[in-house]
Amino acid sequence: MKKRVLALALLVAVLTGCAGQDASSPVTGGAAWGFPEGPAPAEEYERFFWYGFGEENPDRDPSAAATEKEMADMLAAVIEAAGGDVEGWRELTAHASDEGIYRDYCAMFLLYAAEHMDATEFTMGFAPYLLGGRTDENWDAFGTDIRGGYRLFEEFGENWDRVCVSVSSQMEDRQEMNYLNASQNFVVSRLSLITGEPLLDFDYGTFTMHLTEPLTYEDAAVAAVRLFESLPETAERFPEDQAVTARVEELLQAGRDRRDAVLASETAIAKGDTFVPGETYTGTAYYVSNSGDDANDGLSPETAWATIDRLNAQPLQYGDAVFFERGGVWRAAQVYTKPGVTYSAYGEGNKPGLYGSVENGGGAEKWTLWHEGEDGSKIWVYDRPMLDCGSIALTDTLGAVKVQGFWNGECFQPVSELWSTDRTEEAMAEQAAMPEFDPAEQLTENLTFFCEAGSGLPDSLPIYLSGWVDTGEREQYCLTADGPLYLRCDGGNPGELYPDMEFLSPCAPFDGVADDVVIDNLAVLYTGRNILSVSPECEGVLVQNCELGWGGGCAASYALDTITGYAAGVQRNGGVGGASSSRNTFRNNYVHETYQEGLGLETAIEFSGQAFDVTDVTIEGNVFYHCGSALIYFNWDEAANPDHQFRNVSFRDNLVFYSTMSDWVDTGEDVDGFTTGAFTIDGGPNMQDGTVEVRDNVFFAARECLVYIRTYVPEYLPDFEGNIYAQFSDGVFLSSVSAPNYWSANAAEGVRETLFDESGEVLSLSRSRWGEADW
């Protein structure tokens, strides 16, 4: 396939220039400096002089070592252009000498300079996890040595004892690092928003920043430019290349068109002599309508049944079909699927809605003001006890954020910060000491909520609210507990402001789908559990032409140890779910607003200990939007296991947009081992026999990491070919935390080379331009 690369869009943009800028207008407030007029040079070294950070000197060898004084002067110009504390910087570096410096010293310069321009944060998203969390004695793992002699920054006789507060999602919150550690973390974790490159180049071949080598004048100048171009205000001055803009608009429109086509798709399933899944059925057709009557025979639209309870009571046979009337809605009921049965739609209008939500929450009369704070906060309580909710869908794309509590057997407590990520005895003790949950104290943000669904919960742990537990035989648990529902809504009565709100309650319309079932043209929405899941023993499931949205987030279990799997103490349900079995097809669906996976494939069932290969699965032609982790496959093997493999699995022609961009979904920050992205390979070495393909997909924008591979083993990678990778310039295209091969590639070439996707297309996006695109 012919190579198609539109690499680093904003870098291309500099070729188009920044004409029309007022030379007297500073970027961020510097009094004497103005943004240059005219086209910006394409090369970073040339932009150094274009910005006026230094004067061109034909006698200065760019490859010769930079001096302390040259580095100090370069960064003084950057700090001035950024409107920072240039006087404080000049005072700090007043005694800079003409001695040459090394690259590790440059890292110190850059971090101290960033402090003087209020730019010490790691770039938004997954900071490149190359050096994160490492301590002094670990640096030799990267082939680097610790040098001394950082003369300008030795303060009060204490070398490197100051504290740097990291805001990187890859670092512990407020982790203390000395400045030696912090500077080297910083220079690979603060990225240019124009090129996507770290402040100091990282050599992926040797896996080092070459910190012990002399710093050349050109590298010093480029590092200064990247620090300046890591400022959002600077990046905004670079117009996006018109070709890239047109390409992005084309991709977004393709996503909208396919979404609309799915939502408008008509039922094409008819009776035939041979059962062809998704095309024909061979048995009896039954009909269900909101205007029907359970006393009817259900054999025609005129004699349709009314409820899912009546449908579940019918002994359906292989080859039968069930048609729900379009425009109807069925709430808080599970369809007990039967092998070989087709479930589809009839009539005209919107797809039949199978909702987990027990009721619509709109209407001012349903909400009472419970607490009003002096800061203007308003907390409202619902008019009756409510089941646990994964979220509250306030509008089509806005969900209230759940503040998860921990049920200790007697009451709910806030989840301690330490226990949310740790499983030590210290963390358990901290959790045990937490006070009772107080919504007035814990709902600190607008449009957050807490459901005190404790009525009916056991008083001893562990507690399983949903899922399966291995007790000799697989037993399904679905405890239902309810309690007061508190929603903070500072703007007024939520029932008035959001009349169409729905609750993501723990009612799953399709759970444990049976063999050879077809689900077609249904809207399965608003469940705090998995929207649709295929159990490992089941095969031959086809899901097509469906809207699957607003799923996950309900508590699945409470425990005092690691049994919850994904996080200490509380496990929450995922999203759509998926299949851990064979011969399953998911095609032409619109999947949106899921707490975790949009669609997941798994070779092992974590708690039962059973393991299954995943074979002959096709995920094709779907649209994913606002999913916590849109496409994911994984196992839990710590080492490669030939008995747990993916075979003949195809991820093809899927359009994946804005993963993890909703505030209510799982961002991965508080979860150990479940990382978010547009495409994720999680768990241990995911063996495959060369028949897994990831081809011709569009992976468009993720809050953190676009493609995440926990255990990067090249021979086990699927066949990536012809995909489009479009990510924000201040985000990360590709990342892994698989020791010892920590890597994160933010450049276009790194994406294609690491995934071996030679025909891939890479686009770097402006977050301000495309972060809130009209969907």
Burial class of residue 392 in the structure, from the number of CB atoms within 10 Å of its CB (0-12 exposed, 13-18 middle, 19+ buried): buried
The Cα 493–Cα 696 span in angstroms is: 46
Look at residues 388, 399, 393 and name the one whose alpha carbon lies nearest to residue 452.
388
Tokens (6 digits) for 50: 């274009």
**Taking a C-beta distance cutoff of 8 angstroms, is the pair 113, 89 a contact?**
yes
More confident residue, 708 or 292: 292
- Digit-coded pLDDT (tens) for 452-502: 999 888 887 777 776 544 444 444 445 678 999 999 999 999 999 999 999
More confident residue, 239 or 564: 239
- Digit-coded pLDDT (tens) for 502-519: 999 988 899 879 999 999
Q: Taking all residues of the chain, what is their mean pLDDT, rounded to a whole number?
A: 82
pLDDT-derived band at 748 (thresholds 50, 70, 90) equals low
* 744 pLDDT more than 60: no
Q: Which of 152-156, 475-479, 551-555, 717-721 has the highest mean pLDDT?
A: 717-721
* Helices vs. strands in the chain: H and E counts, helices first: 15, 46
* 770 pLDDT more than 80: yes
Q: Kindly report the number of other CB atoms within 10 A of residue 41's CB atom.
A: 17
Q: Is 37 within the bounds of a domain? A: yes
Which pLDDT score is estimated for 739? 43
The Cα 737–Cα 712 span in angstroms is: 8
Three-class secondary structure of residue 84 per DSSP? coil
Domain range for residue 118? 31-235
More confident residue, 120 or 175: 120
Q: What angle do CA 652, 11, 694 make, to 5 degrees?
A: 10
Q: Is 307 within the bounds of a domain? A: no
Q: Which residues contact 590 (CB under 8 A, 6 or more apart)?
A: 258, 259, 262, 263, 546, 547, 548, 549, 622, 623, 625
pLDDT-derived band at 614 (thresholds 50, 70, 90) equals confident
pLDDT-derived band at 571 (thresholds 50, 70, 90) equals low
Q: Is 651 within the bounds of a domain? A: yes
The Cα 321–Cα 340 span in angstroms is: 9
Domain boundary among 235, 264, 289: 235
Overall pTM surpassing 0.85 (yes/no)? no
Q: Is 648 within the bounds of a domain? A: yes
Which pLDDT score is estimated for 252? 97
Q: Is 755 within the bounds of a domain? A: yes
Domain boundary among 201, 217, 235: 235
The Cα 162–Cα 155 span in angstroms is: 9
More confident residue, 250 or 730: 250
pLDDT-derived band at 605 (thresholds 50, 70, 90) equals low
Which pLDDT score is estimated for 128? 39
Q: What is the DSSP letter of 298?
A: -
pLDDT-derived band at 669 (thresholds 50, 70, 90) equals low
Domain boundary among 206, 235, 264: 235
Which pLDDT score is estimated for 130? 35
Which pLDDT score is estimated for 479? 64
Q: Is 388 within the bounds of a domain? A: no
Which pLDDT score is estimated for 556? 76
Which pLDDT score is estimated for 303? 98
Look at residues 574, 567, 569 and name the one whose alpha carbon lies nearest to residue 558.
569
Q: Is 675 left (phi over 0), alpha (psi -120 to 50) or beta?
A: beta
Q: Which of 9-13, 217-221, 425-429, 713-717 has the highest mean pLDDT?
A: 217-221
Which pLDDT score is estimated for 227? 96
State the total domains in the chain: 2
* 108 pLDDT more than 90: no
Tokens (6 digits) for 755: 């995934």
- Digit-coded pLDDT (tens) for 237-274: 887 778 889 999 999 999 999 999 999 999 999 999 99
Three-class secondary structure of residue 288 per DSSP? strand
Which pLDDT score is estimated for 750? 74
Which pLDDT score is estimated for 23? 29
- Digit-coded pLDDT (tens) for 343-369: 999 999 999 999 999 999 999 999 999
**Taking a C-beta distance cutoff of 8 angstroms, is the pair 475, 497 a contact?**
no
**Average of per-residue pLDDT across 54-77:** 95
pLDDT-derived band at 619 (thresholds 50, 70, 90) equals very high
Which pLDDT score is estimated for 517? 96
Q: Is 272 within the bounds of a domain? A: no
Percentage of the chain exceeding pLDDT 70: 79
Give the Å distances, CA to CA, from 472 to 233, 513, 608: 61, 22, 9
